[in-house]
Amino acid sequence: MFLLWYIPLLLLAILLAVLVRGHAYKVHPWFFAYAAFGVAADVVRFLTERNVRAYRVTYWSTETAYWLLGIMVMYEVLQRALGNLVRTGWGRLIFPSILLIGLGLSLARARAVPSALNGFRHYIVVGAIAVRFSEVLIFAGLATLVPILGMRWRQYSFGIATGFGVYGTVSLLATTKFSDFGTRFKFLWDVTQIVSYSIAVLIWIWFFSVPEKIETPGSRLSAPSPGVLEEYKNALRRMR
Domain residues of the chain, as ranges? 2-215
Q: Give the per-residue pLDDT at 192.
A: 79
Cα–Cα distance between 119 and 167 in angstroms, integer?
A: 26
Q: Give the per-residue pLDDT at 186.
A: 60
Q: How confident is the chain (240 residues) per 10-residue block, as mean pLDDT? A: 74 94 90 94 88 88 90 90 72 88 87 70 82 89 75 79 89 64 59 86 93 54 45 46
Angle, helices 52-82 vs 94-112, to 10°: value is 140
* CA neighbor of 48 nearest in space, from 57, 39, 38: 57
Q: Give the per-residue pLDDT at 171.
A: 76
Cα–Cα distance between 215 and 219 in angstroms, integer?
A: 6
Q: Give the per-residue pLDDT at 94.
A: 87
Cα–Cα distance between 150 and 52 in angstroms, integer?
A: 51
Q: Give the per-residue pLDDT at 176.
A: 60
Q: Give the per-residue pLDDT at 100.
A: 94
Answer whether 57's CB lies under 8 Å from 96's CB: no
Q: Where are the alpha helices (DSSP H) in 49-155?
A: 52-82, 94-112, 120-149
Q: Give the per-residue pLDDT at 7.
A: 87
Cα–Cα distance between 156 and 173 in angstroms, integer?
A: 26
